[in-house]
Amino acid sequence: MEPALAEKIRKKQLQWTPQRETVFSVIANSNNKHLTAEEIFLKTKKIMPTIGLATVYRTLELFCLRRGYFTKI
């Protein structure tokens, strides 16, 4: 994880779960390609087979709307 983002997460006291880290990793490794939630889910599912679609949506909601790490388009 990028050190600046790790510090930002610590400051905002966001619980950093394996699921959130995996979703973040998928987005960060997308080479600036805009992914849909479904694409993120499918890529995440390959890494973490037990993750559910609802978890991905909740994580994206947290990252985009509540924390501002990513922008919803």
Structure-block tokens of residue 41:
């889910």
Q: Which one-letter DSSP state was computed for residue 63?
A: I
Give the orientation angle of helix 37-47 with respect to helix 53-61, to 10 degrees.
120
10-30 per-position pLDDT tens digit: 666 677 788 988 988 898 888
Calculate mean pLDDT across residues 54-70.
77
User: How far apart (Å, rounded) are the C-alpha atoms in residues 32 and 52?
Assistant: 24
Q: Is the pTM of this model over 0.85?
A: no
**What structural domains and CATH numbers belong to the chain?**
3-66 (1.10.10.10)
